[in-house]
Amino acid sequence: LVVEALRRVAQPSGLLLLVDDVHRVDGTSLELLATVLATKDLGVALVGTGDVDGVPTALASLPSTVLEGLSSSELNALLTASLGMSLSPSLERAVGDRVRGNPAHALALVRLLIAVGVLQRTEDGFQTNGSLSAAALPQDLGQVLGARLELLPSASLRFLQRAAVEGSLFSAELVRSSLLGSDGAEVLDDTEWVVPVPQQPGIFRFTREEARQVLRERLSPSQLRSAHEELAETLERESFALEPAREVRVADHLLGADAPGAQAACERAGDGFAARGEWRAAVEFYRWALGRAPGATATVVRWQLSVLARAAGCLTQVEPAAVDGLVTPWLDRVSVMQTPGMWAEAARRLAVAELKLGRLGDAEVRLSMAQASASADPEVEALILGDLARVREAKGETTAAVELLARAFQRMGNRTARAPDFYWEHYLLLGRLQQRLGQLDRARVAFTRAAEQARSVASAVGQARALSQLAGLRVLAGEPAQALTELERALALAEQGGDAQEVARIHFNAGRLLVAGGRAAEARERLEQARE
């Protein structure tokens, strides 16, 4: 979704991404950046800044340039422009020797020296009270910022520390509400530390990431855990129900607090990402929910295998080859007898990934083994039968695939499926197979049932796919105008459901119909939309 959004923004002249402090970028965002840059013909370029020794592995292959530090005279010119007054020659040398050309370090250092009274303004520029050598100055930017923070009132320092735990951007009201007693919010007026985010009332950002890191580092482990826990508790209040990415932030804070509710919060965050099709982020939170080892009771293990199955399903969408490394260690450590149904479901998800990779034999063997463990859970066994039908479909054994699907429906009986997409997905598969066998009337019944089932569970994606298949039958029946009408209905539903792949498929099929009808200009437009 992000890559597609960037593709649209980059047209027609390209897009340049500027990323500061790439050495501090989180792993998920780095993967996204690498994916964007590796996508051919996307028209997106990256310029990033960061520590020479901290360039992330994901970006290490990109061309890089090492920037030299500013000279003492250049630093003095910068400081003069920023502070309105120049340094004396001796002070210029001392500052230049200490900061090694780093402009951010130089500016923070001089501001510190002014704040503590070491530097005084005179008509001739800044002067020191006596001699000042490089050795007498704080060694690095962190030390300078720490010394500056020591000069703040305790309530202001506490407010900034709590904001630093919340993030680079933070809601002032959230931070204030999470603190007891004097809140220190007057520090929000000090633009040396934080500034308001334009067009986002009540949201502030730190002017330097280094300052935020120093603020966090000054907290003891127990203080940091308490800050995370209090922020999580505050976010969960009804008054903050509309906070952006609320579930994700609660999960992050509970993880940071090592709190008992962290795993459940990570599961909820993963479910949210999965519902939006943000597969990699979902997998990351599901991994945190899983923990490192099976739980002590069958109930906990059953829940972990449920999370594992969802994680495998998400990972299959973006990196099916990695599913084996995620799932197999858990299946090896959990006895199938402890929780056979969920064990079989996790094994099924691995088989689906193998099927996507074209490893039909491996998938069929794994599904057959999993089926033996799923006999007590009708839905899991029905899902396994459906996937076995997909294996037979891939082998070209269409009649056998239809028979397996009939067994899957029979196993479900009239039960309501836990997986809301079960019925419409399997009716779509059945219709597709019957169409391949030339059983068009049966296929129409199956696609119609798929549309009805998708509507009953409010799945716009399912309705769109069913209508697309019905449009295909209209074409076979010699009704191209009705087919186009069905495709337009399907398009609206696919866009509503955010199914970019189905949107592209609908535009492509509409384009083909328009070509056949001699409407070349309209066809070209639809095919261009399909390509985009």
Residue 492 DSSP SS3: helix
Co-location of 28 and 102 in the same domain: no
Task: With residue 99 as reference, give the H or E element that holds it.
Answer: helix 89-99
CB 235 within 8 A of CB 243: yes
Query: Is the residue at 350 inside a domain?
Result: no
Could you tell me if 25 and 94 lie in one domain?
no
Chain position carrying tokens 């998920």:
28
Best CA proximity match to 206, nearest among 243, 246, 174, 161: 161
Q: What is the pLDDT of residue 140?
A: 66
Task: Judge if 447 and 514 occupy the same domain.
Answer: yes
Whether 49 and 80 share a structural domain: no
CB atoms within 10 A of CB 200: 12
Q: Looking at this protein, which amino acid is placed at residue 156? A: S
Q: In this structure, is residue 270 part of a structural domain?
A: no
* Element holding 408 (H helix, E strand): helix 398-412
Is 37 within the bounds of a domain?
Answer: yes
* Residue 135 falls inside a structural domain: yes
Q: Cα separations (Å) of 485 from 351, 424, 481, 507? A: 38, 21, 6, 12
Using pLDDT thresholds of 50, 70 and 90, give the confidence band for residue 346. very high
Alpha carbons 248 and 263: distance in angstroms, whole number = 12
Q: What pTM did the predictor assign?
A: 0.72
Q: What is the pLDDT of residue 379?
A: 94
Structure tokens at 175: 């931070």
pLDDT (tens digit, 9 = 90+) per residue, 396-455?
Answer: 999 999 999 999 999 999 889 999 999 999 999 999 999 999 999 999 999 999 999 999
DSSP character string of 235-286: HTSGGGTT-TTHHHHHHHHHHHHT-TTHHHHHHHHHHHHHHTT-HHHHHHHH
125: left (phi over 0), alpha (psi -120 to 50) or beta: left
Position 365 in a domain: no
- Look at residues 148, 173, 197 and tell me which one is the last residue of a structural domain: 148
CB 450 within 8 A of CB 411: no
Q: Maximum distance among all alpha carbons in the chain?
A: 97
Q: Cβ distance 323 to 287 under 8 Å?
A: no
At 25, give phi and psi (nearest 5°): -70, 140
DSSP type of residue 52: G
pLDDT average, residue stretch 331-348: 93
Q: What is the structure's pLDDT at 182?
A: 65
pLDDT band at 129 (very low <50, low <70, confident <90, very high): low
Could you tell me the residue range of the domain that residue 121 belongs to? Answer: 72-148
448: left (phi over 0), alpha (psi -120 to 50) or beta: alpha
Asked whether residue 154 is assigned to any structural domain, the reply reads no
Q: Is residue 447 part of a domain?
A: yes
| Residue 127 φ/ψ, nearest 5 degrees | -130, 150
Amino acid 284: pLDDT: 92
* Cα 329 from chain centre: 24
Q: What distance lies between CA 509 and its chain's CA centroid? A: 32
Tell me how many domains the chain contains. 3
Calculate the CA 376 to chain-centre distance. 36
- Tens-digit pLDDT profile for residues 91-116: 777 777 777 788 877 887 787 777 76
- C-alpha separations of 291 from 36, 53, 250, 286, 294 in Å: 30, 31, 17, 9, 8
Beta bridge partners of 46: 17
Strand-pair partners of 47: 18
User: Is residue 225 in some structural domain?
Assistant: no
Bond preceding residue 12 cis, omega within 30 of 0: yes
**Confidence bin at 480 (pLDDT 50/70/90):** very high
Provide the pLDDT for residue 55. 72
Q: Long-range contacts: 151-155, Cβ < 8 Å, 24+?
A: 151/115, 151/116, 152/187, 153/184, 154/184, 155/181, 155/182, 155/183, 155/184
Domain end among 148, 171, 203: 148
CATH of the domain at 452: 1.25.40.10
Residue 137 is predicted with a pLDDT of: 59
**In this structure, how many other beta carbons lie within 10 angstroms of the beta carbon of residue 117?**
8
pLDDT at 362 over 60: yes
Q: Report the amino acid identity of residue 420.
A: P
Specify the pLDDT at position 475: 94
Q: C-alpha angle with apex 419: 416 to 422, nearest 5 degrees? A: 80
With vertex at residue 325, the alpha carbon angle to CA 323 and CA 327, rounded to the nearest 5 degrees, is 65
The two tokens of residue 238 are 């009804």
Residues 89 and 125 in one domain: yes
- At what angle are helices 500-516 and 480-497 packed, to 10 degrees? 160
The two three-digit tokens of residue 502, written as one number: 């189905």
Which residue has 């804070």 as its token pair? 253
Q: Which residue has the higher pLDDT, 133 or 421?
A: 421
End-of-domain residue from the set 111, 132, 148: 148
Which of 494, 493, 472 has its CA nearest to residue 484?
472
Residues 30 and 87 in one domain: no
Q: Which residue has the tokens 């597709």?
A: 432
User: CB of 120 within 8 A of CB of 129?
Assistant: yes
Helix, strand, or coil (residue 8): helix
Q: What is the pLDDT of residues 291-329, one digit of tens each?
A: 989 998 999 999 999 999 999 999 999 899 999 999 999
